[in-house]
Structure 1
Amino acid sequence: MAGGPVLTRRDGLKGLVGVAAVAGLAACGGSDDEGSGTGGGESGGGTGGDVIVNGSEPQNKLVPTNTNEVGGGRLLDSLWAGLVYYKADGTPENDVAESIESSDAQNYTIKIKSGQTFSDGTPVTAKSFVDAWNYGALGTNAQLSSYFFEPIEGFEAVQSEPPAAQTLSGLAVVDDTTFTVKLLQPESDFPLRLGYSAFYPLPESAFADMEAFGENPVGNGPYKLKAEGAWQHNVRIDFVPNETYDGPRKAQNDSLSFVFYETNDAAYSDLQGGNLDVLDAIPPSALATFEDDLGDRAVNIPAAVFQSYCIPERLPHFGGEEGKLRRQALSYAIDRDQICETVFSGTRTPAKDFTSPVIAGYSETVAGNEVLSFDAAKAKQLWAQADAISPWSGTFTLAYNTDLGHQEWVDAVTASIRQTLGIQAEGAPYPTFAQIRTEVTNRTITGAFRTGWQADYPGLYNFLGPLYATGAGSNDGDYSNPEFDALLQQAASTTDQDQANELLQQAQTILFTDLPVIPLWYSNASGGFGENAENVQFGWNSVPLYYQVTKS
């Protein structure tokens, strides 16, 4: 996941608080005053208690630069503190950083607060960040989030085979609390990106055996592992407050446990039965009733989450002009309005673009987005044009993981395709998210597959660059379009916010022609909390602010 929107630069960047104020970038996933309607603010408070929440087994070991999925990401964000963090409404605030400054949006000086330590007591220094970023960028380490470091000078050298350099030339340690970053070009939104997990620091002990470290990670955030071996794979992981952390996200509870449920139905039953304190994924079976069931403990607010499905061009019938026609036909064949109402009971909104309506710069009138409307006649016409190139045969399959409640909408989408196009279409279930992601990552999956994006940081670019730029780490369909890449680069380098947004909308018009994924809908943060849970607040990206949850 890489990139981000471009902040407006006025007289240099003098720390994150000033940058946020100038940019006006506040996503609408809740606010400090209103939260999710539960009371409680950013600082939390209460009587503490042992808090149990839902989660999912991470795809990989817990290494910040090799985790780019939600299950692992929420664990990293509890175990680590970055230079900045994002408040509930998406505004950035300094965490480990004392200041992040630049006069030209290309050369940055970053100072961290003195006296910071990891949970094992070792110091957090400027070198902790520089070493971690160098590890993540080095091509031979094959880190999923390596492209986050692409804007930094020297990235091409560390990515070459064999590497022409072992470290990024654009990073330099000045002293224990200061380091500098030189980018290849001005990118005024660079400070906004620094709250994402790829930019977290690492202790020196991590580099001795990164595989072992990822099994028992040591971070510098509000929590730490309860004990060595506290991660019971496919079952749960247990955290306790990290007493060495003294930042703005200090844990208000006595412990935090993530339980990895096989289904969201089981999680919802536990919530109703008092065995789960916070749930951020209501199962389809309960979407029509959960607000009545939970009353003022129900949460249903906008969030920066985009849902889609991907049909790689490498699949038979989906390359070249034929593939473009078929993807457009499949998009026109989906009745998004009906599915959002009947399957999701109004907890989803039909997509109008590739980003999210809670992000500054969003537009529902991007040229070409008529392909997201339901038009059976247009779908049949385009499919026939593709058949004229190469007749279709076989079954259209859409892969999904059954552990997080996707069967209902996949059944609805494939039914819409069958009825509209008159072809065989069906879901292809995988038992776990980790299993489907492994096949997607290894490029061994043989059909279309569900995709989604929960923003790393509150910016339009973050929904585009990481997923569709050539070679990007989350570009699961291996999409590549030089014109699209050029527009992304222009948007990243401009220091004018309005101009950057215009360029990103132009880039989306290309996506609407090529359809590297089929946009479906935007997700709300739909969840709930138990009768004894207090200070529950869901953030701009739909993730609860776990550190402030308490139990009466």
Structure 2
Amino acid sequence: MAAATAAATLVLAACNGGSDDVDPDPDGPDQTVGEAGEGDDETGEPGAAGGEFTIYNCEPQNLQTGSSSEVCGSKVLDQLYSGLTSIDYDSGEVVGVVASDWETEDAQNWTFTIRDDFTFHNGDPVTAQTFVDTWNWIVNPDNGQTQGAFFDKIEGYQEVVDGDATEMSGLSAPDDTTLEITLSEPFSPFPAQLSYTAFYPLPEVAFEDIAAFQEAPIGNGRYQMDGEWVHNVEIAMTRYEDWPGDSPGLADRIVWTIYSDVNTAYLDVQAGALDILDGIPPERLATVDQEFPDQYQEDQTSSFTYLGFPLYQEEFQDPDIRHALSMAVDRQTIIDTIFNGAREPATGVIPPVLPEYRGDACNYCDFDAETARQMYEDAGGPSELTIYFNSGAGHEEWTEAVANMWQQNLPIDSISFESLEFAQYLDLHDEEVVTGPYRLGWVLSYPSPQYAMEPLYGTGADSNYARYSNEEFDSLIDQANAEADEDTAAELYQQAEDILLEDMPVIPLWYETRTTVHSTNVDNIVVDPRTFVRVEQVEVTSG
């Protein structure tokens, strides 16, 4: 994601996702927020239990809750773990899972009541202190967890990062079922943010050797590992019978089958060797209704695809160069010819599934070849480019189309391509060795414009691969986060988006309608706004 690619940021990998209309539900001051209810984020009616099925996945970068920043790993962790909260994607509301309820009077001081019936898969209890210990461990830089920045709003975070403290002063557990959290500033979306992967609890055994632990993680979710992670082959899990929620998983066993090429996965579904593939290859969109007449579906998602700029490279520091490259792309033509219409041209970075979306937010997203050429020439844009993308995920054809448009519409002599499998591709960005425009995507781990922007473009954010920084943007995001009135917060988020689109550290390309195909072995396929198949709801109909 997960992420956003992934809240924490779910960076979009081989699977690019979409969403139903989902409204953010920031909790304002003087509110007592929700009962646990069913304690999950269900969509759809309960079905028949039993059986097993296989589902496509790409090789995760890791299976560490504190370091997972992409959907390949986060989809698996979403089943192995249960967090304090989750999102009900029917209503867009935050619901309790491990937390039964929570209270705040000022959106800065929070008290969560923890259920006493959750255990890890090894039988250890999940208590309020479990969350305190897990979060402090993730934030401690000595432990090398990349998602620690998601805790930056908790009081005492910076002291731990700087090495002046070993624990965040804003966390305490007076007893096993009471978790008290003090933030450094008001943050209304906090309960929604806690649904993100980084905030899942870890058992004590994880802290002994996280590299070894991630080979067979011990979680507290609906499903538990069945053996170890077989790299580049599969990740298998079985239903955890002692999970105390009201809606446990239906299937007895789920196998995440790992592919390096989504086309191979598509052929395997046709042959009956794979049960579910979400995010089919673009070239199959025109014929999927003939090849899977009764076994395919389309779901709108929050998936947002963009081309980013490594702003640490001198040739991309002039915003007019970035504006020109954006205006030189005919998005609709690519969508019609390559995606068979299964995309929507992006007009900003806030997706249409959120009420803060505006169809006219971007001044540089309309195709205008003449203006783009003049602007590029005046700004002295580079005559040679390298485009980066992750391989095996169906991005080859459209990145080539973008390159052709740039060479046709701008004074660019040559364009080359660099691609790697997704896990290694993200390493390139972490190491800041990308030298040209790069393809990435983002999905909303929780439905808030804060998550659509801050993790990707906030100064110093882990998934800010462009290394973009703007003090006014950061300030507006902070103001919106602290605002109790939803309408006022929406206006502030939109003002922040305006600054972002003027600076244009990334070129917004399109929002995805996700196409999923499946075998006759399964039914009740539900795809949520994060692009996640709700595997716990899948019904096995045969075998």
TM > 0.5:
yes
Letter of the structure 1 residue corresponding to residue 335 of structure 2: C
Corresponding position: 1:314 with 2:312? yes
Take 2:339 and 2:247, find their aligned partners in 1: how far apart are those partners? 33
* Whole-angstrom distance in 2 between the partners of 1:12 and 1:273: 53
Distance apart, 1:427 and its partner CA:
5.0
Question: Given residue 382 of structure 2, which amino acid in structure 1 is its aligned partner?
Answer: W
- In the alignment, structure 1 residue 129 sits paired with structure 2 residue 111: no
CA distance in 1, matches of 2:133, 2:249: 27
Which residue, out of 234, 255, 261, partners 2:253? 255
Instruction: Provide the secondary structure at the position in 2 that maps to 1:476.
Output: coil
* Counterpart residue number, 1:24: none
Taking a change above 3 Å as real, the CA distance of residues 425 and 15 of structure 1, as seen in their structure-2 partners, is farther
Matches within 5 A, 1:75-224: 75-89=76-90, 90-160=92-162, 163-224=163-224
Alignment check: 8 A CA contact 1:469 1:475 kept: yes
Alpha-carbon distance change, 406 to 177 in structure 1, aligned in 2, over 3 angstroms: same
Answer yes or no: is the 8 Å Cα contact 2:27–2:33 preserved in 1: no
Secondary structure, counterpart of 1:299 in structure 2? strand
Indicate the SS of the match to 2:66.
helix
Determine which of 371, 379, 392 is the counterpart of 1:386: 379
Counterpart AA for 2:68: T
CA distance in 2, matches of 1:217, 1:445: 32
Q: Is the 8 A contact 1:65 1:145 kept in 2?
A: yes
**2:530 aligned counterpart, secondary structure:** coil
TM-score norm. by structure 2 comes to: 0.92
Q: What residue in structure 1 maps to residue 347 of structure 2?
A: 352
Q: Which residue of 2 aligns with 1:529?
A: 518
Query: Are the counterparts in 1 of residues 25 and 447 from structure 2 also a CA contact under 8 Å?
Result: no
Whole-angstrom CA distance in 2 between matches of 1:3 and 1:431: 23
- Provide the C-alpha distance between the structure 2 equivalents of 1:17 and 1:222, rounded to a whole number of angstroms: 16
**Alignment partner, residue 330 of structure 2:** 335
Contact 1:487 1:503 in 2 (8 A): yes
* Shift in alpha-carbon separation, 1:82–1:546, aligned structure 2, 3 A: same
- Corresponding residue for 2:537? 548
One-letter identity of the residue aligned with 1:69: E
Q: Could you say which residue in structure 2 is the equivalent of 1:23?
A: none
8 Å contact kept, 2:266–2:277: yes
Return the offset for 1:123.
0.8
Does the CA contact (< 8 Å) of 1:400 and 1:427 recur in 2? no
| Residue 484 (structure 2) pairs with residue 495 (structure 1) | yes
Q: Could you say what secondary structure the match of 1:342 adopts? A: helix
1:246 counterpart (239, 244, 262): 244
Shift of 1:3: 7.6
Distance in 2 (alpha carbons) for counterparts of 1:405 and 1:193: 31
Q: Distance in 1 between matches of 2:93 and 2:515?
A: 21
Cα separation, partners in 2 of 1:279 and 1:213, compared to 1, 3 Å: same
Decide whether the 8 Å contact of 2:222 with 2:248 is kept in 1. yes
1:12 to 14, 31, 38: 31
2:279 matched to 1:281?
yes
Secondary structure at 2:333's aligned position in 1?
helix
Tell me what 2:425 maps to. Answer: 436
- Please give the root-mean-square deviation of Cα atoms over the aligned residues, in Å: 1.9
**Where in structure 2 are the equivalents of 1:367-516 lying within 5 Å?**
369-387=362-380, 392-393=382-383, 395-516=384-505
Query: Unpaired runs of 5+ in structure 2?
Result: 1-5, 10-23
Q: Given that residues 3 and 465 in structure 1 are in contact (C-alpha distance below 8 angstroms), is that contact kept between their aligned partners in structure 2?
A: no
Q: Aligned AA for 2:364? A: V
Deviations 1:85-144 (A, max 9, x none): 223434332111111111221111111111210011111111111111111222333322
* SS of the residue 1:7 aligns to: coil
CA contact (8 A) 1:327 1:515 kept: yes
What TM-score, normalized to structure 1? 0.90
Per-residue CA distance 1:467-512 (angstroms, 9 max, x = gap): 0000001000110000100000000011011111111111111111
Structure 1 residue runs without a partner (length 5+): 21-30, 36-40
2:299 to 278, 298, 301: 301
Percent identical among aligned pairs is: 38
Post-superposition Cα deviations, 1:329-366, rounded to whole Å, max 9, x if no partner, equal: 10000000111111111111100110211123222232
SS at match of 2:53: strand
Query: Following the alignment from structure 1 to structure 2, what is the Cα–Cα distance between the partners of residues 425 and 306?
Result: 27
Describe the shift of the 1:402–1:280 C-alpha distance in structure 2 as closer, same or farther (beyond 3 A): same
Structure 1 letter corresponding to 2:69? N
Q: Give 2:346's aligned amino acid.
A: A
Answer yes or no: is the 8 Å Cα contact 2:525–2:533 preserved in 1. Answer: yes
Instruction: In structure 1, give the amino acid aligned to 2:144.
Output: A
Cα distance in 1 between the residues matched to 2:166 and 2:289: 53
Amino acid at match of 2:206: A
Residue 18 of structure 2 corresponds to none
Matched residue SS, 2:440: strand
Q: State the SS of the aligned residue for 1:221.
A: coil
Letter in structure 2 aligned against 1:392: P
Q: Over residues 425-465 of structure 1, what are the superposed CA-to-partner deviations in whole Å (9 max), with x where a residue is unaligned?
A: 53524241111111111112222211110111111110100
- Once the 2 structures are TM-superposed, how far is the Cα of residue 8 of structure 1 from its aligned partner? 5.1
Q: 330-339 or 521-530, which moves further after superposition?
A: 521-530
Give the SS at the match of 1:295: coil
Q: Which residue of 2 aligns with 1:326?
A: 321
Distance (whole Å) between structure 2 residues aligned to residue 48 and residue 386 of structure 1: 62
What is the alpha-carbon distance in structure 2 between the residues aligned to residue 249 and residue 396 of structure 1?
51
Task: Give the letter for the 1:65 counterpart.
Answer: G
Q: Distance in 2 between matches of 1:142 and 1:410?
A: 34
Tell me the CA shift for residue 525 of structure 1: 2.1
Shift of 1:296: 3.7
Alignment partners' CA distance in 2, 1:342 and 1:260: 29
Matched residue, 2:48: 46
Aligned residues: 519
Contact kept, 8 Å, 1:52 with 1:257, in 2: the verdict is yes
2:13 is matched with none
Q: What letter corresponds to residue 223 of structure 1 in structure 2? A: Y
